[in-house]
Structure 1
Amino acid sequence: MRIRDLHPNIKIRLVTDFFITLTQMAIFPFMAIYFSSHLGAALAGILLMANVIVSILAGLLSGYLSDHLGRKKIIVIAEVIQVASLLVMTLANSPLLTSVWLTYIMFLFSNVSSSIIGPVVNAMIVDVSTEKERTFIYGIGYWLGNISIAAGAALGGLLFEEHRFILFGLFLLVSVASLIIMIFFIEESLHIPSSGKSSPKLNFSQNYGKVLQDRRFMLFTLATILVMSLEFQLDKYIAVRLKDEFHASLFNFEITGIRMFSIIMLINTIVIVLLTLQVSKWLSQFDKKKVLTIGIVVYTLSFSILSMSNSFLIIVIMAFLFTLGELIYSPVKQTVLAGIIDDQSRASYMAVDSLSYNVAMLLGSLGLTLGAIVPPNGMAVLYLCLGLAGMLCYRAAIKQTGTTNKQADVSI
């Protein structure tokens, strides 16, 4: 499998997503600090929660509209919103004007745009790819995404505090270029059947009612929530526990809990950059159900041990193993998802799948609170239960795909 053999839409999105993610990660992770410093932590928290809620609703609406109106039209509209919001946001942080509230409103619109684009692009990838190509595609996307996240976070850390105008301007230029590419080079991928063969059009509530009644998909969504909730423990409970409990010395160099957490993140980034493509290519020859199971088991056990170990060597090994487990299961999970969703409602399914990450993030926050009263070995058992329950739900969802013609492509 080679990148040049992929559909032009996919090649374009891989490139544009890399630069968009890079610029977003140079800005968005620091906005909570920005709003807290100007408006206070309490108000900033409320505003950011409102931002998440509006973004969720926007994603659901975009999924519904995309399945009825087409992919390209919705993407272009969202890109126009993105360019307009970033233009105003850049002006609101320029030498000519400084406005926190204008920045927040445009930040809200920018997030809405990203939430609209996400499910539609995911559906478009499924539209123009085969089941055999998807593990490779998602592996490449995962690799590029993590590189752009790391590079963007580093860029933001250097420039955000004193050079926001430059960062917002950079994001604006990238978004303008992306809009032009979407208009002139992206092809429409949704081919709506003639009226004589098309299914009856459902309204918004009926559309998502149908998705929620899809038992295998909801099992898959529950599995995603359970497994992804472990990832959101890393920068919450595990980071806090290391800060409070971990201390080591290596060659007379003091390693605090915070430094240990930074080492974990560094290992994670290095392993992803060096091994993603090789692991993805190697695993493509094996049965996907077994690959998914092995990946989640490795991932879960590593997090369980990270939640209670204070040994430098063990933590380093677990950091490598949980990243390896993620490399194994993540692209396969996306491939399986593409195979079990309804062809007529792909963007709607992808919009609901996106919600699972918000729920998992909430569980990550709850884990931090629970960790205040539950000892580390108790948290380790909890993580083990979450991961293994997620693995069983994935297997149950996959098992139910063997009875239809469409799902024969993913009889794994």
Structure 2
Amino acid sequence: MKYADLHRNIKIRIITDFFTDLTQKSIIPFMAIYLSVQMGAGWAGLLLTVNIVSSMIAGLGAGYWSDRIGRKKMMVIAQCAQVFALFWLAAANSPWLNSVELTCVMFFLSSLSSGITIPIAGAMIVDVSSEHERHYVYGLQYWTTNVAVTFGALMGGLLFDSFRFVLFSLVFAESLITLFILMFFIQESMERTDSSQVATPIRKNMLKTYGSVLRDKRFMVFFTASVLAVSLEFQMDKYIAVRLKSEFSAQLLHWDISGLHMFSLIMAINTVMVALVAIPFSKWMARFQSRSIMTVGMCLYTAGFAVLAFSNWALLLIGSAVLLTIGELMYSPVRQVLLAGMIPDSNRAAYMAADGMSYNAAALLGSLGLTIGAFLPSYAMAGLYVIIGASALIFFRQSLKPLTGPSESLPCAS
């Protein structure tokens, strides 16, 4: 499998998503600091919570509608809103205008737009990809997303505080170019279905659609597994970062390193490994059975986080960072492949929107882990991580039962 062999929509989306992630991640991680300084931590937290909940609801609505009126139309509408929001975000932080209120409103609109776009873009990739291609596509997406997030955070760190207008102007320019590409180069990917399904009253039809998602036992088992697995990832910058800061200090190659230094080193190992080996690793994994990849990957992933939860030995922490990264490289793209294979064609975007809720639920569990960690010793947290990871693996394997036979394997990448 080669990049040139992919459908045009996928090739365009991978490129545009890279630059969108790059620019968005140069803003979003720093908005909490900006809002806390300007409004106070309480109001900032409330606004960010409202943004998250609103974008979740918008994503559910967008998933329903894009399954009925088409992917491209909804994406163009959302991108127009994004362009409008980013223009005024730049204006609100320009040399001619400095408005915290306008910044809050336009940041909210930008969050809504992103919430609309994400499930539709995911459904579009499933629309135009074959089962043979998806392992390569999701491996490539995983790589581009991680690289974009890393460089986006670096760009935001350099520009957000002192050159906010320049940063927002760059993000606006990228968004405008993406809108142009969506309008003139992206093709509609959804096959038209019987228009009678739109004739039912909207609220009743939407409730019926998501009611069927909730009644899909196999998907809900998969959803639960995703929440548990991703919640471990959200422990990294919460409980694990706090524990290392308060407990860890050591010498490594005659250098004194603090807990924050070790945390930065762990994150750097993860980033570099993903950037260097994600694509060839995903091609190599495609020859093995999905059940085997998921099992080994989740075991390594869980073991890595369990060690990070209690160890203060520098070399063991470094080894665990390598271990969990290998596990993440194994299970994460396979999870996307399996999701694409289990959702029905008629409600792809709705299922993608529902799956997106798993990340929000995992984020809440990640925050809860920090609270629990204040009362439990580190070895107990390590045991809790093992229970979470083992439970996720059991649920993943349970969701695979109708799909995977003894001899079925993921398609090979060529």
Give the structure-2-normalised TM-score: 0.96
Find runs of 4+ consecutive structure 1 residues off by over 2 angstroms: 193-196, 198-202, 400-403, 408-411
Residue in structure 1 matched with residue 260 of structure 2 by the alignment: 258
Residue in structure 2 matched with residue 37 of structure 1 by the alignment: 37
In structure 1, C-alpha distance between the alignment counterparts of 2:117 and 2:264, rounded to whole Å: 32
In structure 2, C-alpha distance between the alignment counterparts of 1:50 and 1:397, rounded to whole Å: 32
In structure 2, C-alpha distance between the alignment counterparts of 1:20 and 1:98, rounded to whole Å: 25
Segments of 5+ residues of structure 2 without an aligned counterpart are none
CA deviation profile, 1:220-272 (whole Å, cap 9, x unmatched): 00000001000000100011000111001123321000110000000000100
TM-aligned CA deviation for residue 400 of structure 1: 2.4
In structure 1, C-alpha distance between the alignment counterparts of 2:194 and 2:79, rounded to whole Å: 29
Would the aligned equivalents of 2:78 and 2:117 in 1 still touch at CA under 8 Å? yes
Residue in structure 2 matched with residue 392 of structure 1 by the alignment: 394
Paired residue type of 1:54: S
Residue in structure 1 matched with residue 238 of structure 2 by the alignment: 236
Residue in structure 1 matched with residue 368 of structure 2 by the alignment: 366
- Equivalent of residue 302 in structure 2, options 296, 300, 303: 300
Counting matched residue pairs gives 406
CA deviation profile, 1:107-150 (whole Å, cap 9, x unmatched): 01001101100000000000000111001000001101111100
Segments of 5+ residues of structure 1 without an aligned counterpart are none
Tell me whether 1:165 sits opposite 2:168 in the alignment. Answer: no
SS at match of 1:248: strand
Residue in structure 1 matched with residue 9 of structure 2 by the alignment: 9
SS at match of 2:186: coil
- Equivalent of residue 309 in structure 1, options 308, 311, 325: 311
Residue in structure 2 matched with residue 129 of structure 1 by the alignment: 129
Would the aligned equivalents of 2:26 and 2:155 in 1 still touch at CA under 8 Å? yes
Residue in structure 1 matched with residue 347 of structure 2 by the alignment: 345
In structure 1, C-alpha distance between the alignment counterparts of 2:198 and 2:115, rounded to whole Å: 27
Paired residue type of 1:96: W
Paired residue type of 1:312: A
Residue in structure 1 matched with residue 179 of structure 2 by the alignment: 179
Paired residue type of 2:216: D
Residue in structure 1 matched with residue 326 of structure 2 by the alignment: 324
Tell me whether 1:211 sits opposite 2:219 in the alignment. Answer: no
Residue in structure 1 matched with residue 293 of structure 2 by the alignment: 291
Would the aligned equivalents of 1:131 and 1:409 in 2 still touch at CA under 8 Å? no
CA deviation profile, 1:297-325 (whole Å, cap 9, x unmatched): 11001111110000000000000110110
CA deviation profile, 1:178-207 (whole Å, cap 9, x unmatched): 0000000000000113559x7986611111
Would the aligned equivalents of 1:268 and 1:323 in 2 still touch at CA under 8 Å? yes
SS at match of 1:203: helix
In structure 2, C-alpha distance between the alignment counterparts of 1:302 and 1:189, rounded to whole Å: 40
- Equivalent of residue 227 in structure 1, options 226, 229, 248: 229
In structure 2, C-alpha distance between the alignment counterparts of 1:123 and 1:195, rounded to whole Å: 19
TM-aligned CA deviation for residue 342 of structure 1: 1.1
Give the structure-1-normalised TM-score: 0.96
- Equivalent of residue 282 in structure 1, options 281, 284, 298: 284
In structure 2, C-alpha distance between the alignment counterparts of 1:21 and 1:62, rounded to whole Å: 20
Would the aligned equivalents of 1:122 and 1:347 in 2 still touch at CA under 8 Å? yes
In structure 1, C-alpha distance between the alignment counterparts of 2:53 and 2:409, rounded to whole Å: 36
In structure 1, C-alpha distance between the alignment counterparts of 2:409 and 2:63, rounded to whole Å: 24
Q: Which moved more, 1:243-252 or 1:336-345?
A: 243-252
